[in-house]
Each structure stands twice: as C-alpha cells, then as structure tokens.
Amino acid sequence: MLKTLSLLSLCSRVTAGRLSTADSCRQQLLADGNCCLDQRVNRDVLQRRLSRPGTTWQCASKDGCVSGDGQRGGDFVALPPDATCETCRILFLHGGSWYYGSPETDGYKALATKLAHRTRCVIMLPDFPLLPVGKFHSMLAASIAALQYLSTYQVWASCRPSTPVDMFVGGDSSGGSTALSVVLRWKLDPDILPSHASLAGGFFWSPWTNLMCNTPEYITNAYMHAPPPTEISDHVGDILFTQRPVDNMAMFRKNALEYVGGRVEMLKDPIASPFYADSEWQAGPGMASPALYFAVGSSETILGDTTILAEKAAAKGVQVVVDIFHGMWHDFPMYSDGCGSEQPLWSGQRAWNNTVEFLKAASATASAAKGGGSGGWPLIRYVYDESASGRAGWFPTASRPLRIGLGPASAESAEGHPRLQSLLFMLCGGFLGHLMSMGFGPLKIAAQKLLEKKREFAKPEEMAPLIMWDLKAIANIVHPPPGFSMTVLWTLPKRDKERRKGDAAVNPVERTLKRRSSVASPARKRACRPITTARPAISELKSIVINLERRPDRMEGCEQRLRKHCPNLPLERFAATDGRQASIPLEEVATSWNTARNVSFQKQRALRKGWNDLDTYQVRTLELSPGERGCASSHVRAWRACLERAQGTDRPLLVLEDDAAPTPEFCELLDKALGALPEDAHLLYLGYSQAADWRREVSAELVESLYVWTTVAYIVWPAGARMLLSKLPVNEPVDNWMAGLCASDDIKAYCVRPKIVLQADAWNVNSDVAHSDEHYWGPNSDIQHSDVLYWGPGHPEAGGDPAGGLLWDLDSEDSEDEL
C-alpha cells in the first residue's frame, strides 16, 4: 500500500512538472529494478503464436531454470495488417542475462507490437532455451533456425516462401549480444540464409558484448549517491547495477561463464563475445555488409561494450551508427512510455525514432552496401534530452535525416559537410561570376537553368545544391571547339533524387509508410486522372472471377456472359473460400456482425427515395453465415492477389463474382469512367444493387460513392487493397464492411453510372451465400421495405416519389436488377 501511494505521489510530481520523467524512472528503478517496463500493446497489429517443430523445451525450477516452470519454445509474431509477401522481417532476441524473459513477458510483447506498428515490418520473437537448459551454442543455433524460418515465413497463405525480402536482426542486453553473434555467424557463412533473403542490418539496445566484463565503464560508470541526498538527480552512474565495481564485474563474468558452458577461453571467442571480433567483421569481396545501429546510455557500465565494438566493426568497412543518450540507464528504450508517469521518457522515445529511421535508411541502401572496405569510423552521436527545462535554443531545429552508405566525403559528395560545401560554392560562384561579368552568355544561361532546376527539386529548408563545374567544360566555354555542347554538373540531395525517381526507387519500409501516409492524408487530390496516365486498356486489365470449386456451372455461365460483351477481357478463375469447409482466421473475418450501421444507411436510402415506413432489425447482432464468411475471405485473398500481381506498381485488378453479367455498354462506359477517374481512387464499382447516396457527380459516367451494396464487380488499386487489409478483420458482410470504410473516408470509392455489371440472378437467388439476415425479412424488417422485389412492381408500399436530383434514378440506378 505504501509503495502504491509513493508511486502515485511520484507520478503527480511528474505531471505537475516538479520532477522529470527520467528522474521519476530512476527513483522507481532504484526501489525495484524490475519495474516500469513498457506494457502498452498496439492493438492495430496482428498477433500470432507459432509452434515450430523441434523448438519446445522445459523450464523447471528444480533444474535451475528461473524463468517459470512449464513447456516453452513457442514464437510470438506481430505483423502490420497491411503486410505483404515482400514486407521486411525483423528477428528480435529478448534480453534477461540469458536466464530470464520470454517473447510475451517483461515488456517484449509490447515491444514487438510497437516495432511492427512503427516499422511496418513482420516481427518475430523466438523463445530460445534459457540457462541452464540452453548454452551459447544451442541459443545461437535456435536463433539462426528462427531467422531461417522467418525468411520463408508466409505472411499470408498466398505468399510464396521464396519471395525476396529484407531481413533484420535486433536484440537488447544479452539478446543484443546473441543477435550480434547471428550477424557474425552469417558473415562467416552467408548460406545460412536462402538466396532470396537479404540481411540488411541489425539494431541493438544496450548490448552486452564483452564476456570478460572488463571495459573501463565498469569503474567510471559505477553507481554512487552523491551528496547532498535531497534530489534523485544526485544518483549518478548505473542505477540498475548498484554493487561495487568489482562485485558487478564478478557477477557479470559468472553469468557469462555459465553462458559459454564454463569454458573460460570462450569468453574471448569472437562469435560468442562479439566485442573481440575483428577480422570477422570483414565482408568478402562483393558481399553485402549489413549496417549496424546501437542505442546505449551514457551511464551504463557496459557503455564500452558498444563504443569499442563499433570502432572495430567500422574499421573493417561496416556502416555503424551509435547513439549515446546522456544520463540514460541500461535498456532505457524499454521504458519509453515513462514508467507509469503518463509523460513519455524523451530519450526512450528518441531511441525508438532513431531506430526506425535507421531501419528505413539501412533497407534503402542494403543493395548498395558492399563489403571489402576498411579504415572507416563509426557515426557516433551524443544525444541530450532536448525537452529538459532551460535548454531552449541549445540544439539545431532543422531536420537532419540519417544517411547510410554514402561513403567518405568527397568533391562529388559534399552533402553533410556545410563548411566544405559553402567553400566550394563560393569558389565556384566567384569564378563563374567573374566569367559571366566578362560576357560569357552561354554560361549565364546554363547557370540560370541550373537554379531553375534547384528551385524545382530542392526543398526550401535545404541548402543550395553544390554546383560542380567540369573544369574542362569551362575551358571549352572560354575556347569553344566546333559543335561544343556545354555540360553543367551538379548534385542534389539524395532524398530529392529518390523523390524524383518515384515510388519504385524507395525501399519496402519507406514505400509502405509513404503509401499509408498518402492514403490517410486529409488533403486528398481531386484532380481527374490525366489522359496521359498509364491506365490499362480493357485488353490489358487483369481480372479474376471468384468461383467455388463445386460450382463449375456458375463459372461457365459467367464466362459466356463476359465473352458476349467484353471478349477482349482476360479472365482467370480465382478459387473462392468455401465457408462450409475452410478454417477462416478470426483476424481476417469475424463470426458475427452488428446491423446498426447497415440500418442507418438503409434509412438514408429510404429518405432519399421518399419512403417513411422503414423499421429496423428486431435483433441487432447476427451470426455471419458460413457463406458470408467464405465470401469475405475470398475478397480478402483477392486484395492480397492485387498487391502480389502489382509487384510495386499501381496496376489495378478487376474482381468479379461468378454471377457478374456485363451490359452491352460495358467497354464504352468503362473507358469513359476510367478517363474521368480522380487520382485518389482506391475502388471503382462497376456494379451494385443499392446505393444509400452519392457524394458527388464527377462526370456523366462517374459518381463518387457514399455507401453501396454488393461486390459483384469492382476494380481495386494496390493502395486500396493495402488500406482494406489494414482494416481487417471484416466484421460485417463484406459489401457492408467495404461500404462502411468508404462512408468513413478510409477508402475512396467511385461508381460507374449507369452500372455496367448486373447480377445474373436477383439478389441472393441461386446463390451459395446465405445471408444472415434472411430470416428477419418481412413487413417489419428494414431491408425489404427498400426492395421493390419484395412488394412487387407498382405496389404502393414499394416507395413514393424519389427525392429528386440529377443522380437519383429510381428505376435503375440503385435498385436490384434482374436479367
């Protein structure tokens, strides 16, 4: 009770600003070194538990295992809902001195979901055997096996195990040491990963790398309580390991000796104890050398484990980034939420941000980073808490993006060296100005063109690009030879070059984040898709027909109808999910749905039609039928197929259900609708049974949708497929669910008007999808009052006068059609 009251008092002091978050964490950690780890799990991330053959092990306290009795060995996987087959993968090894921890305890479940959310990568935490069950060799073997498994892991059932992917390894504390051992083992034998998987980099938080435990900071960063003992800030040094230096060193070394199986010589083994690796960091000629990132606190007793290792790795040509965070303790990124104070730990949050930035940069340069270099230095940044009181104006405010793999500064690459850049700019500028003042017209024109290019591509806050003039070209200007064409050379920031090259030049992590941000941006583009846009012609449009194996008759009928009105449309049968037989994951499709949203849009449609007798369902929550779940699963798989077939392009996919019946105007109206389609389109409905309302009229053939029913035919673009997958699970009939995302502005959907695909039979006639709300039909239900088929043509209950307006065509625009 006293402990709880003390914590509440401490939190209130932090909230009131009398105590910093960092000092609050220090005070709590001094009282309980096991407290305060981040526990907030990101619920937007999908979570999976895996059980691979041969990975189980028993933890028994009677045998000395201190991490909880029971069977262990399962993996925890966190993946963003918009993950694709090509999404990057991260193997993260948890810390705990090789004695403690698991993938779902001690804050690691929160870490995994947060890492998946921030990086958009698939995250896997293996439950490798801990001491004394496992030792160095078995832990390393288990980690490598997990990495191999992750490289072929099928994110979705439709993914091929050999899909090219970028791989990363990471770890904290002792897990960081084993993760470094994995990297070094891979350098010795790259064949431990299949050829389609590229080890792009590794990141390590407070790694314990020197098993001899004798780096200088064991002494200089030893904990001490400095007088006067009035404020927590008087506590200096390593607050997690508060024993005397010699006792700390002895404790660490005993732990390390247990890890290597009691073999003293292994304490300096370059793989088991990465601190001692030297030539092992050298990559073979032409071999990729993964970049490394370290986040470590300046107060840690194992600070030297990072800084000295980083210098040795960089000397062998490895790109290394080290962030030393002032005053931070061991594993501080694991406390980024603020130790329960409701105020984030600034340095922890910054370490997270820098880690994510590194992963993006490493992925972007992985293919270009080749080994064989030597003599480099690590990039070491000393990071202060910029949010602390009294530090306004201390630090630069401009964004300074991390760039990896640029190599040493040169005249051709002076970016990042402002003094050198300015000097060259002034020298060249003065020389060129002198020439222009003498009347060299061509030079003046070239310089003007160069500045125009600079204004076009460079951002306002960036320095002017470094202008490099070919001296031979300048000499040719002075004495131009016959037919001379003046050449002007310049360099623009690498980020702008990538922006000009487009999405195809961006790495998988950046591409995913970029497209997500463009989808979610409130400032949506409204300009019509230009005629010059490479939109597919009818013959180039890829299409699939969703069809059950047991219904070849429906497939045959669909093919006949499509050949009649669109003979040049390539068709491919797409096996539907049979909801009666297939096991459909709950993270993809729910088992029940709430009718409230459907009712609200049915009422909106009724008001537009002039009806006033619309009731509601008598039961609000209904079980989805097996057919509805199978239908939803089929469309989910179709969206994944769209992403796979696009292969990083913007190529859309036409999705048809096997009762699709195109109208004679199919080709003509589709071509016109595509010509008028705005750039923000995620979906284009070609057919629909009903519409609650339209947002606007784009052209004579195109309207922007608010909420439409049925999924008989639509075109989906990769950005739309990605957004749909990010919103799983489907928790309504799939057409209602998609329409709801459109109504809430999560996706942008448009409809061809008039519709160019009908349903071969009336709604739900001759269908394999039993609707969960069928037994609620009747005079007191909502759905039949909005359906002329129930009452019969001309029946007074079928509806009154339409609400009016250019778009509202009562007879054909949004009522059920029957051929």
In terms of Cβ atoms closer than 10 Å to its own Cβ (0-12, 13-18, 19+), residue 782 is: buried
The pLDDT tens digits for 174-190 are: 999 999 999 999 998 89
Give yes or no for a contact between 124 and 90, defined as CB atoms under 8 angstroms apart: yes
Lowest mean pLDDT among 253-262, 398-407, 553-562, 791-800: 791-800
Tokens of 51: 């059980």
Strands 702-708 and 749-752: antiparallel
The pLDDT tens digits for 588-635 are: 999 888 777 777 777 666 666 655 444 444 456 788 888 899 999 999
The rounded radius of gyration (Å) of the Cα atoms in the chain is 32
Asked if pLDDT for residue 416 goes beyond 50, the answer is no
∠ Cα 351 353 358 (to 5°): 90
79 or 286, greater pLDDT: 79
Band (170; pLDDT cuts 50, 70, 90): very high
Task: Return the CATH number of 521-798, one of 3.40.50, 1.10.3470, 3.90.550, 3.30.70.
Answer: 3.90.550
Asked if pLDDT for residue 541 goes beyond 90, the answer is no
> Considering the chain, what is the average pLDDT of its residues?
76
- The pLDDT assigned to 430 comes to 46
Whole-number percent of the chain with pLDDT over 90: 45
Give yes or no for a contact between 321 and 293, defined as CB atoms under 8 angstroms apart: yes
- The distance from CA 728 to its chain's CA centroid, rounded to whole angstroms, is 15
- The distance from CA 234 to its chain's CA centroid, rounded to whole angstroms, is 41
**Section 573-593 average pLDDT:** 89
Asked if pLDDT for residue 74 goes beyond 70, the answer is yes
Band (411; pLDDT cuts 50, 70, 90): very low
Q: Which residues partner with 684 through β-bridges?
A: 715, 750
- The pLDDT assigned to 308 comes to 94
Tokens of 702: 């195109």
Alpha helix locations (H) across 40-135? 108-119
Band (484; pLDDT cuts 50, 70, 90): very low
Q: What is the C-alpha separation between 769 and 388, in angstroms, rounded?
A: 61
- The pLDDT assigned to 445 comes to 53
The CA–CA distances, whole Å, from 728 to 81, 207, 633 equal 7, 37, 11
The pLDDT tens digits for 685-721 are: 998 877 777 788 889 899 998 888 889 999 999 999 9
**Where in the chain are the domains?**
2-383, 418-488, 521-798
Band (580; pLDDT cuts 50, 70, 90): confident
Whole-number percent of the chain with pLDDT over 70: 68
- The pLDDT assigned to 753 comes to 86
The angle, 0 to 180 degrees and rounded to 10, between the axes of the packed helices 718-726 and 508-520 is: 80
- The pLDDT assigned to 520 comes to 35
**Section 55-74 average pLDDT:** 92
In terms of Cβ atoms closer than 10 Å to its own Cβ (0-12, 13-18, 19+), residue 791 is: middle
490 or 452, greater pLDDT: 452
**Section 573-598 average pLDDT:** 86
The pLDDT tens digits for 444-461 are: 455 555 444 444 444 333
Q: Is 259 helix (H, G, I), strand (E, B) or coil?
A: helix
Q: Which long-range contacts (CB under 8 A, 24 or more apart) does 248-253 make?
A: 248/213, 248/218, 248/222, 248/301, 249/213, 249/214, 249/218, 252/208, 252/213, 253/211, 253/212, 253/213
**Section 96-116 average pLDDT:** 96
Q: What is the C-alpha separation between 519 and 601, in angstroms, rounded?
A: 24
Asked if pLDDT for residue 443 goes beyond 80, the answer is no
Q: What is the C-alpha separation between 300 and 330, in angstroms, rounded?
A: 6
The pLDDT tens digits for 767-819 are: 555 555 554 444 444 443 333 433 444 544 444 333 332 222 333 344 333 32
- The pLDDT assigned to 601 comes to 74
Strands 653-657 and 749-752: unpaired
The CA–CA distances, whole Å, from 558 to 546, 654, 734 equal 10, 14, 21
- The pLDDT assigned to 611 comes to 55
Tokens of 377: 């230095």
The CA–CA distances, whole Å, from 86 to 126, 153, 198, 621, 640 equal 21, 11, 12, 37, 11
Asked if pLDDT for residue 679 goes beyond 90, the answer is no
Give yes or no for a contact between 602 and 784, defined as CB atoms under 8 angstroms apart: no
- The pLDDT assigned to 787 comes to 38
Candidates 190, 223, 217; CA nearest to 304 is 217
**Section 417-436 average pLDDT:** 42
- The pLDDT assigned to 272 comes to 97
- The pLDDT assigned to 568 comes to 81
Give yes or no for a contact between 80 and 112, defined as CB atoms under 8 angstroms apart: no
- The distance from CA 319 to its chain's CA centroid, rounded to whole angstroms, is 24
Give yes or no for a contact between 179 and 212, defined as CB atoms under 8 angstroms apart: no
Strands 702-708 and 691-699: antiparallel
Asked if pLDDT for residue 329 goes beyond 60, the answer is yes
CATH number assigned to the domain covering 2-383: 3.40.50.1820
Asked if pLDDT for residue 103 goes beyond 90, the answer is yes
Candidates 334, 12, 29; CA nearest to 172 is 334
